[in-house]
Amino acid sequence: MKRFILEKLQKWKDSPRRKPLILKGARQVGKTWVLQEFGKEFPDGCAYFNFDKDIEYKQFFESTKNVHRIMKNLSMASGQKITEKTLIIFDEIQACPEALNTLKYFCEDAPEYYVASAGSLLGISLTQGFPVGKVDFLEMGPMTFTEFLYACGDDNFAEYLGEVDDFEKIPDAFFNPLIEKLKMYFIIGGMPEAVAVWTETGDIAEAEQVQLNILSSYESDFGKHAPAIDVPKIKLIWESLPSQLSKENKKFLYSAVKTGARAREYENALNWLKDAELVRKASRISKPGLPLSAYDDLNAFKIYMSDVGLLRKQSKLSYSAFAEENRLFTEFKGALTENFVYQSLLRQFEVKPRYWADAPYEVDFILQYDNDIIPIEAKAGINVKSPSLKKYGERYGENTPLKVRLSLRNLTFDGDVLNVPLFMVDELARLLNLLREEIL
């Protein structure tokens, strides 16, 4: 599989200011695989330690903070060669808090070592305190649509999209097949095991079983790792996500979780899901301004799932919808489309997208692109009437050099509106860069 995060890992490796790395991401997005694959780039390979599986290694971190002694003990006990040309992988590091704490000593006392760590629910472990400034972080999510194309052997489509350097319409020979590929991505999603099963067998039912297993493992984690008092609330929030996103106004409502539910009762449960990176939170802004975070409305936000394929399965939408023209894009009032777009934007832009609303108007996403604020609408079909985008432009026109519409229409640039086909959303940052000198 082609995972673009390997390029970021290479930059980390080459950086003269490299620190021990923590690779964050939800369970089963491929963190272990990508680190072991990256280890092949090292002259002496990788030394792999899994603290959940090999619990005896924990002792080495409990008895000393001398990293050279720890490395010697690990090498001797495991029979793995460890040098300054080895990638040292600490997997499931959350199972050994002492190892997590020792990363700061690798930074201070042994910067010559290449140390990368990952783990399930690592985001939760990190909320309990970690030395600031002693580690580097990378976030990893499910496979993007472009990575999905490569995995399916559609390199020609992926490479074509990456080479578009003007704003002429995409030829039908590319446009129509890419719409069909995007439909399949909405069904399979980007969880690597589901993608692997689909590409190897072509059996959607088998890929769906993988998705079901992943969802079940997530739900199992609730009982194993969350505070007992929050487990029932976490389950209720988790089960409410499809209905939350199916509303015309997708603002998260605690009352939609349970009648009479209040924020103060369920806030910890929602934060647990967010820290576990099973859901993503997009805040509403009161008005567009720099930085966006300064205008967050803390009481209004939307919640998305980590993967559009898992959302589709969690919503119990049958994969037979694939054959029903564009139903996948419009189902649940475009919830799958909006979730898909949010996933892609997170991977491309440093500042997390927000949204803007002033009833009855709502712009799906507000993007901070360098020092520009760009409104984005995600339309689930070919009807691209955008009263909300128009109202936003009227109100904030002086500070809105460009508006973006993501839809099933072809690529066009008309004055100050850039229409990008949904299957090109992974290219949005690059397209904006092409426009930078022209209007931004």
In the chain, where are the structural domains located? 5-139, 145-439
Q: What contacts 24+ positions apart, CB below 8 Å, involve 247-253?
A: 247/333, 248/333, 249/357, 249/359, 249/362, 250/302, 250/335, 250/338, 251/284, 251/300, 251/301, 251/302, 251/357, 252/301, 252/302, 252/303
**pLDDT the model gives residue 414:** 87
**pLDDT the model gives residue 128:** 65
- Bridge partners of 376, per DSSP, are 365, 404
How does pLDDT run across 221-279, given as a tens digit for each residue?
A: 999 999 999 999 999 999 999 999 888 888 999 999 999 999 999 999 999 999 999 99
Annotation: CATH topology of 5-139: Rossmann fold (3.40.50)
How does pLDDT run across 395-433, given as a tens digit for each residue?
A: 998 889 899 999 999 999 988 899 999 999 999 999 999
**pLDDT the model gives residue 130:** 66
Pseudo-torsion of CA 344, 37, 21, 32, nearest 10°?
80
CA-based nearest residue to 188, from 171, 172, 204: 204
**pLDDT the model gives residue 9:** 98
pTM (two decimals): 0.94
**pLDDT the model gives residue 131:** 66
**pLDDT the model gives residue 126:** 73
**Which residue stretches of the chain have pLDDT < 50?**
none
**pLDDT the model gives residue 122:** 80
